[in-house]
């Protein structure tokens, strides 16, 4: 866990209707959710609402909640299925990591989040 908040500090609460719609998936439905995009991003805020398992010939999907800044419960707020960002860190390696954000997201990819790196964070040259 990072001691730095690198994601967007905006959060929203689910309505009772949204909580009911999101029940029964892979996640326990949380009543308050944070935007998962990079701090200072442009455009709509996004947070995963529920993971739905594959079945009946359909692939697993992520249901996202997105809303505009300053109007969290307005008419532009929506629950929808969005495709995953196709970018991967160390693609082709055994330890590849998917971005985890929706395709076309604003800001950095999910694996790029973390505290700022300085020369103090690097191992000494004799270890390399």
Q: What is the pTM of this model?
A: 0.77
**Per-residue model confidence as pLDDT tens digits over 49-68:** 999 888 888 788 899 999 99
Amino acid 2: pLDDT: 42
Write the secondary structure of 66-87 as one string of H (helix), E (strand) and C (coil): EECCCCCCCCCCEEEECCECCC
Residue 34: burial class (beta carbons within 10 Å; 0-12, 13-18, 19+):
middle
Residue matched to tokens 């967007």: 8
User: Within the chain, which residues score under 50 in pLDDT?
Assistant: 1-3, 128
């Amino acid at each position: 866990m990072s001691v730095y908040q690198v994601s967007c500090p905006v959060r929203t609460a689910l309505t009772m209707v949204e909580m009911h719609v999101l029940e029964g998936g892979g996640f326990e439905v949380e009543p308050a959710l944070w935007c998962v995009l990079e701090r200072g991003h442009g455009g709509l805020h996004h947070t995963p609402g529920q993971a739905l398992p594959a079945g009946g010939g359909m692939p697993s999907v992520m249901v996202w909640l997105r809303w505009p800044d300053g109007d969290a419960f307005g008419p532009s707020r929506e629950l929808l299925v969005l495709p995953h960002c196709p970018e991967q860190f160390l693609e082709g390696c055994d330890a590849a990591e998917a971005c985890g954000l929706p395709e076309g997201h604003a800001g950095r990819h999910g694996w790029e989040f973390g505290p700022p790196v300085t020369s103090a964070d690097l191992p000494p040259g004799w270890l390399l």
